Amino acid sequence: MEIDPFIFRLSIFILSIFIGYYVVWSVTPSLHTPLMSVTNAISSVIIVGAIIAALSGNEEVIFSSSSIYGFLAIILAAVNIFGGFLVTQRMLAMYKKKKKDK
Amino acid sequence: MSANLSATLYLISGVLFILALRGLSSPETSRQGNLFGIIGMLIAVTVTFLSVGNFTSGFVYVLIFLAIGGSIGAFIAYKIPMTAMPELVAGFHSLVGLAAVFVAISAFINPEAFGLGTPGNIKLASLVEMAIGAAVGAITFSGSVIAFLKLQGIMSGAPITFKGQHALNALILVSIIILTFYLCSTQSSNLFWILIAVSFLIGFLIIIPIGGADMPVVISMLNSYSGWAAAGIGFTLENTALIITGALVGSSGAILSYIMCKGMNRSFFNVILGGFGATAESTGDKKTEQRPVKSGNADDAAFLMKNASSVIIVPGYGMAVAQAQHALREMVDTLKKNDIKVSYAIHPVAGRMPGHMNVLLAEANVPYDEVFELEEINNDFANADVAFVIGANDVTNPVAKTDPQSPIYGMPVLDVEKCKSVLFVKRSLSPGYAGIDNDLFYKENTLMLFADAKKMTEDITKNL
């Protein structure tokens, strides 16, 4: 009997939860704020869905009732991706400067 | 681009996201980690463009919209003050939630674009995943908006409770499940819209009864939700990068909520089901008689610190409000010039989000190897000469160890009272968020410094 591809995706999902569990416990508490901002940025990979939705139209109808939601989602996700990664970068740069002290 | 190749590349971008989080295990590797995250995102976006392969005028619009959102995001990232990080993160969570809702709506209206069937005849599994993604996304959105408003001070931080609240929430949750069930059997778009509307409502209702002091838990919880929403959409789109990321973010947020709850010695359900204020009211009025406190000025504080050999600083949210972190660092620099050993003690729930104090201290150029967590430093208080409490309150209250009647009994606290002397910077004797009196104020060895945190710190520096 064939295995439904859904089961493979479920396996990836469950194993990723475990990876997340161990990786996040190893994050030092002083970096918990950057952790939140970077998880925020990476969860915006949902932009993948937004792009597919936005490009579902054709030459004549670029903004159809379904693609318009895609375009809106692209804006939201883009704010998050750029904002999330850059603000994380900004925070981590502050942790960097200290090394001259040592 | 072949489906197999794009799936492999999505997997690579998922792995890069894992490495991005892994990098955060130490400040040295963290910047490299962030770079991995950015590369992962670039791969995911590029692969999506190539696999859709629709480079018509629609593509140009996609780039334009991407640029608009990107500039807004970059602008915010550069402008935002570090004290406002909790609001920023809450705001960003709401965007992820709303984006998930929009993608789900689009997939529902036009399932062909996603290869999920035709309108009115969507594959059952996809429909369930879509419904879950949309519902969790909607909850994340409205919940985060309320959290944002509370943190920003636009909405009162006090818990809003009313009779039958839990019953109503339970009813709505059950109705979401029933709606999902009927949606799957009828494929009715009306039910889909109702499902989203009801989910917005429940997100709103879940967050309004939670008080300001519990915000670290709320933010972490919403972080987790945004991950589950992304994972739900990932299943719909059959996209590995999204599934991996959703799972990572979901478990990350869950762990952070757990750490925050433990920092307050409260169960997760206790936080979710009711405000701290509600439990404190009943016990807050028992002792109203005036007890004597010793208060001093900047001169006294400077004298005490000058004669100390080690000082431990305990920062809290008040420091962030007063923007005193830079003044504090200047004071510490002066102390260090006088060969006084200085370290910082940070309670897990200090501030309004996990790690908030660490970021503020880092912003003020405090080396991270001088900053310690509760377990690392708690034994050192007994050997230190001066504890300088600035903007913290409940996390230093010895009542948590001595009075089983107290609402904060059992909460891990910093053993500040074991120091030879305690300097407590505070505007007045008013209680903290837990609504209870701090016994530390009345101890023999405590000197209260009634002033604005920033001004007091500057005055002390002048007197050193």
The pLDDT assigned to B151 comes to 86
Indicate yes or no: CB of B103 within 8 angstroms of CB of A97: no
The pLDDT assigned to B230 comes to 93
**Rounded to 5 degrees, what angle do the CA atoms A21, A23, A28 make?**
115
Indicate yes or no: CB of A91 within 8 angstroms of CB of B362: yes
pTM: 0.89
The pLDDT assigned to B25 comes to 92
Q: How far is CA B401 from CA B211, B374, B405, B411, B423, in A?
A: 23, 15, 11, 8, 20
Assess contact for B235 and B103: CB atoms under 8 A: no
Rg of chain A (C-alpha set): 19
The two structure tokens encoding residue B44 = 């995911």
Which positions of chain B have pLDDT values less than 50? 276-288
A1 touches chain B (CB under 8 A): no
The pLDDT assigned to A83 comes to 95
Q: Which of residues 359-388 of B touch A (CB under 8 A)?
A: 359, 362-363, 365-369, 371, 373
- Cα separation, B77 vs A88, whole angstroms: 9
A29 touches chain B (CB under 8 A): yes
Closest CA to B372 of B332, B413, B343: B343
Assess contact for A73 and A51: CB atoms under 8 A: no
Specify the 3-state DSSP secondary structure of B416: helix
Assess contact for B227 and A24: CB atoms under 8 A: no
* A14: chain B residues, CB-CB within 8 Å: 247
- DSSP for A8-68, written as a single string: HHHHHHHHHHHHHHHHHHTS-GGGHHHHHHHHHHHHGGGHHHHHHHHTTS-SS-SS-TTHH
Assess contact for A90 and B34: CB atoms under 8 A: no
The two structure tokens encoding residue B83 = 């004290």
The pLDDT assigned to B312 comes to 92
- DSSP for B312-327, written as a single string: EEEE-HHHHHHT-HHH
- Burial per residue of B233-254, b for 16 or more beta-carbon CB atoms within 10 angstroms, e otherwise: bbbbbbbbbbbbbbbbbbbbbb
Q: What share of chain B is helix, strand, coil (3-state, %, to 5)?
A: 65, 10, 25
The pLDDT assigned to A98 comes to 52
Q: Which of residues 61-80 of B touch A (CB under 8 A)?
A: 61-62, 65-74, 76-78, 80
- Cα separation, B243 vs B272, whole angstroms: 27
Specify the 3-state DSSP secondary structure of B43: helix
User: From the candidates A28, A32, A46, which should be mutated to test the interface with B, based on the most B CB atoms within 10 A?
Assistant: A46
Q: Provide the pLDDT confidence category of residue A32 given band limits of 50, 70 and 90.
A: very high
Q: Is B291 exposed, middle or buried (0-12, 13-18, 19+ CB in 10 A)?
A: exposed
The two structure tokens encoding residue B154 = 């636009």
Q: Is B155 exposed, middle or buried (0-12, 13-18, 19+ CB in 10 A)?
A: middle
- Cα separation, A46 vs B151, whole angstroms: 26
Among B214, B285, B380, B394, the one annotated catalytic? B394
